Amino acid sequence: MVDYALQRKSRLAEVYSGRTGVAEVCDASPYLLRAAKFHGRPSTTRCPICRKEQVTIVSWVFGEKLGQVSGSARTTEEILRLAVSQEEFSVHVVEVCRTCSWNHLVQSYVSGLPPRPRVRRSRRVAGGRVANNSAGGGSSQVDTAGGPEVLGTEGMEKYL
């Protein structure tokens, strides 16, 4: 998990010192504000710019395997569901102030199931060898389905 607390702090320091204009950091797009309204969850962090309300936390999911879902905002419940049903995807958590449009990346992490390993299982069980051993015990059974022909003749020799 990557935490962006330091970047956030230095960004805010720039704003407070006047080196960066408020308009530059309060630039949440209508899309992001809409996502905050419908998919966001409240936080206890007061907006560092306008201090009028608590910022809303919005989580975005990105992943090749997500298809249409990739690049969209999702609720915590939806992300939990994706985490147990989808292969690896990343989640970007953004805080947004719905009053002044301040927004900043809070953290990012990888979620989802590990990519499925390609297991190639060998089904060759050496049945022929086992039959070979039992043949020495005097048994004439030729029960090795699909076993090598040689075994059959070996058993026959006993009756010749």
User: Burial, 72: exposed, middle or buried (Cβ in 10 Å; 0-12, 13-18, 19+)?
Assistant: middle
Single out the residue of 39, 40, 102, 103 in contact with Zn ion (rule: CB under 5 A).
102
Choice between 26 and 131, CB closer to Zn ion: 26
Q: Which is nearer to Zn ion, 27 or 143 (CB)?
A: 27
Residue where the block lists tokens 């970047």 = 7
Candidate list 25, 32, 35, 97; residue touching Zn ion; CB under 5 A: 97
Give the separation between CA 2 and CA 21, rounded to whole angstroms: 26
Q: Which stretch binds Zn ion (CB under 5 A): 43-51, 82-90, 116-124, 125-133?
A: 43-51
Evaluated on CA atoms 75, 76, 77, 81, the torsion sign reads: positive
Q: Nearest-CA neighbor of 104 among 93, 120, 89? A: 93
Q: Which is nearer to Zn ion, 58 or 79 (CB)?
A: 58
Task: Select from 49, 61, 94, 106 the one that contacts Zn ion (CB under 5 A).
Answer: 49
Round to the nearest angstrom and report the end-to-end CA distance of the chain.
Answer: 76
Beta carbon nearer to Zn ion, 94 or 100: 100
Q: Which residues bind Zn ion (CB under 5 A)?
A: 47, 49-50, 97, 99-100, 102
